[in-house]
Amino acid sequence: MPNIDNSPRYDVIAIGNAVVDVISPCQEELIEELSMNRGGMTLVDEQRSSELYDAMGPATETSGGSAANTLAGLATLGLQCAFIGQVADDQLGDVFKHDIRATGIDFDTPVRTGEPSTGRVLIFVTPDGERTMNTFLGAGQYLPAAALDEELIADAAVLYLEGYLWDPEEPRRAMRRAIQVARDAGRKIAFTASESFVIDRHGDDFRDMIEGGVIDILFVNEAELATLTGEDDFEAGLAMVAPKVPVLVATRSEKGAVAIANGERAEVAAEPINKVVDTTGAGDQFAAGFLSGHVKGASLADCLLRGAVCAAEVISHYGPRPIVDTKELVAKRLG
């Protein structure tokens, strides 16, 4: 049950795709040969997913999903988190459940029986570290509102929503219901746009939520901001959105990031690293670092620095989740 004094049990609860990432290095020629969208994320059906998997070289399998990756980062940073997402009653579903719970994240969404299978993301990483993702959403795209634990949602300071999951109709209805539950409980709504193609398809929904004051914290990258606003000029895009959301966070890859909160602006440079190995999860971990400071009342500049440190850590190795103690890294960087 929610606490009587309305203080949240969880720092962040997220709703997102419950998928397993399959990551493999490849040469540039393979991207062209398989007609993939280099550097982007493409939704594929189960047959296309199988074809791409067969074409992959040796791969690493790890539980993923954008929002789940962010929660894994938050848990590493010491925050209390819970996840809502749907897997099938199959081997990949068992892998996902084990991995997310092993990080200390509460996850009790009922599994879905029958077809389709648990979702997966096939990630091809070229020598420059760029990742090309092909996503089969699987069981996750049928997450119903009935699967929501509304008491859990009301018991979290922040409800974090993954834009990727806005695309299928059933989870979109579930997320709308979750927003209402969180709002009624006086909690904050954080939203990550995820990818420009999602904005192309559902931009009117997102703009309506922004105009209606539904979103408290909006995460976008530079390309997503341009798609959302129709403005190619970064500063013009910021000027259009910032007055409409309490906190706007815009990442710019190697150019760092900008955050604007209630008129206050802060910027951070990208953290230097020896080599970019794999950009998978960079935005997810930036969001984790930022939110880890935000929920604790840190300054806007500190929140951005936390995000930059976490993003730098994850792009220095394969995989979308931290492999070292980011809590220690952040503490050292903050001094």
- All structural domains of the chain with their residue ranges: 10-18+65-117+140-334
Across all residues in the chain, what is the average pLDDT?
94
The SS3 of residue 91 is: helix
How far apart are the C-alpha atoms of 303 and 259, rounded to whole Å? Answer: 9
Distance of alpha carbon 85 from alpha carbon 102, whole angstroms: 16
* CATH class belonging to 10-18+65-117+140-334: alpha beta
Task: Tell me whether strands 19-25 and 118-125 are parallel, antiparallel or unpaired.
Answer: parallel
- pLDDT for the residue 264: 97
Nearest to 330 by CA among 294, 293, 299: 293
Q: Which helix (H) or strand (E) holds 102?
A: helix 91-102
The amino acid at residue 225 is: L
By the 10 Å C-beta count (0-12 exposed, 13-18 middle, 19+ buried), 166 is classed as buried
pLDDT at 248 over 60: yes
Q: What is the mean pLDDT of residues 249-254?
A: 96
Cβ-contact 15, 159 below 8 angstroms: yes
pLDDT one-digit tens code per residue, 127-170: 998 989 898 989 999 999 999 999 999 999 999 999 999 988 99
- Strands of 60-64's sheet, edge to edge? 41-43, 131-138, 118-125, 19-25, 60-64
